[in-house]
Amino acid sequence: MTKTTTDPRRATGKDGEDLAANYVTGLGWTVLARNWRCRVGEIDLIARDDEGALVVCEVKTRRGLGFGDPLESITYAKVRRLRELTVEFLRECGETPGRVRLDAIGLLLDRDGNAKLSHVRGIDA
Phi, then psi, of 21 in degrees rounded to 5: -60, -45
Q: Which of 49, 48, 77, 63 is nearest to 14 (CA)?
A: 63
- Model confidence at 9: pLDDT above 80: no
Spatial neighbors of 74 by CB under 8 A, at least 6 apart, are: 58, 60, 104, 123
Classify strands 115-120 and 41-48 as parallel, antiparallel or unpaired. unpaired
Ranking 83-87, 89-93, 97-101, 115-119 by mean pLDDT, the lowest is 97-101
DSSP state of 72: G
Question: What kind of architecture, by CATH, is found in domain 8-120?
Answer: 3-Layer(aba) Sandwich (3.40)
Separation of alpha carbons 123 and 112, rounded Å: 30
User: What per-residue confidence (pLDDT) applies to 1?
Assistant: 44
pLDDT confidence tier of residue 2, bands split at 50, 70 and 90: very low
User: What per-residue confidence (pLDDT) applies to 113?
Assistant: 73
Contact 117, 23 (CB under 8 A): yes
